[in-house]
């Protein structure tokens, strides 16, 4: 049975009406989910949808339930796709998956391109950091996501995050990683202050993970698979990581000056920015990034999952993040 036929069987069952699937095609890129676009026809209606299914192997191990509930929590608060259905057991599709509405007319920028936003870079950047500030301003207590996402104590956010990613590095490291190990030691020696507030952390908020219309408007924030509760400075540090600068070192995300980006985030979130704390989270995020690329390389070599994204991640991005790590480590040491 083809994937389209399996989808038809699943949707017919859960919607209780005969459903046909048309125009099913794989969307290239990404390695933590298989992503497909398709059209579902049911009860005389045409519904453009997206399927996100767990692959046989993955760049990162994530919980599809969290991603689905994050969309359920935020689709009415900021640009994000509306979730439609989820099956954590796999059902007819054999592997865990969820389905969400498709946002039409948008494009995502590759982080390896120069100047992808053209004349609209500043406008997009302003909205980009406003949205991130909105996430950081939202009390998660009554969100659907809070039903399943554990909330660490403010003083434990850094330790929970660092233990998680250093544990993955321990498991997946295939050759000595002296820069990462030095960074981890420095992070443990100089922990940041407790989080100002426990907030939703998108986990992968960056350029390339949103759709824009080419005219200055952000249509949808995507890829919530690493969502969790924690210190909102974690998201801010990842968004500012030089890897996502589109080779424009003087601009946050290749969009607007860093000071302006921080001012927008501060105003929208209602939170303060301790530069020493942000330096800690920036170094942490470089560790996280290098750990992701290390896991990608291991999966490509040993896991039998030959998506070229994994190979590129384990080679090119890993080398760039070694340089970013070294610079961030020096900054943290200088602020101590």
pLDDT at residue 161 in the model? 98
pLDDT at residue 296 in the model? 79
Helix 121-137, helix 258-269: angle, nearest 10: 30
pLDDT at residue 59 in the model? 47
For residue 304, what are its two tokens?
């039998």
For residue 118, what are its two tokens?
């053209």
CA nearest neighbour of 310 among 8, 31, 81, 7: 31
Cα distance between the two ends of the chain:
60
For residue 261, what are its two tokens?
């980006």
DSSP 21: E
Q: Are 290 and 318 in contact (CB under 8 A)?
A: yes
Q: Are 266 and 18 in contact (CB under 8 A)?
A: no
For residue 308, what are its two tokens?
């070229």
Q: Are 120 and 109 in contact (CB under 8 A)?
A: no
Note down pLDDT in tens along the chain; length 336 residues.
899 999 999 999 999 999 999 999 998 765 567 899 999 999 999 999 999 998 765 445 557 889 999 999 999 999 999 999 999 888 999 888 999 999 998 999 988 889 999 999 999 999 999 999 999 999 999 999 998 999 999 999 999 999 999 999 999 888 889 999 999 999 999 999 999 999 999 999 999 999 999 999 999 999 999 999 999 999 999 999 999 999 998 999 999 999 999 999 999 999 999 999 999 999 999 999 999 988 877 776 776 556 666 666 666 788 888 899 999 888 887 765
pLDDT at residue 329 in the model? 86
CA nearest neighbour of 204 among 219, 231, 226: 226
Instruction: Indicate the length of the chain as a whole number.
Output: 336
pLDDT at residue 268 in the model? 98
């Amino acid at each position: 049975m083809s994937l389209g036929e399996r989808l038809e069987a699943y949707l017919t069952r859960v919607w209780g009406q005969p459903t046909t699937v048309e125009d099913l095609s794989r969307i290239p890129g990404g390695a933590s989910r298989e992503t497909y676009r398709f059209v579902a026809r049911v009860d005389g209606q045409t519904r453009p949808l997206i399927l996100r299914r767990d692959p046989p192997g993955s760049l990162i191990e994530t919980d599809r339930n969290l991603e689905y509930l994050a969309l359920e929590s935020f689709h009415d608060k900021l640009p994000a796709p509306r979730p439609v259905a989820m099956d954590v057991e796999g059902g007819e599709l054999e592997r865990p998956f969820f389905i969400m509405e498709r946002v039409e007319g948008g494009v995502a920028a590759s982080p390896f391109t120069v100047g992808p936003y053209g004349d609209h870079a500043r406008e997009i950047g302003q909205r980009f950091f406003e949205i991130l500030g909105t996430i950081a301003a939202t009390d998660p207590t009554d969100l659907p996501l809070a039903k399943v996402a554990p909330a660490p104590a403010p003083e434990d956010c850094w330790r929970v995050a660092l233990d998680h990613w250093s544990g993955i590095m321990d498991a997946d490291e295939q050759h000595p990683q002296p820069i990462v190990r030095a960074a981890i030691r420095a992070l443990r020696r100089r922990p940041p202050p407790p989080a100002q507030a426990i907030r939703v952390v998108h986990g992968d908020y960056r350029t390339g993970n949103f759709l824009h219309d080419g005219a200055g408007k952000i249509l949808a924030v995507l890829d919530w698979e690493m969502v969790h509760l924690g210190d909102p400075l974690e998201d801010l540090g990842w968004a500012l990581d030089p890897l996502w600068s589109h080779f424009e070192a003087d601009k946050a995300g290749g969009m607007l000056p860093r000071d302006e980006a921080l001012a927008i985030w501060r105003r929208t979130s209602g939170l303060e920015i301790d530069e020493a704390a942000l330096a800690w989270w920036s170094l942490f995020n470089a560790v996280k990034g290098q750990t992701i690329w290390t896991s990608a390389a291991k999966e490509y070599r040993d896991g039998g999952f030959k998506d070229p994204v994994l190979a590129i991640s384990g080679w090119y991005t890993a080398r760039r993040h070694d340089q970013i790590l070294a610079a961030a480590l020096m900054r943290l040491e200088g602020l101590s």
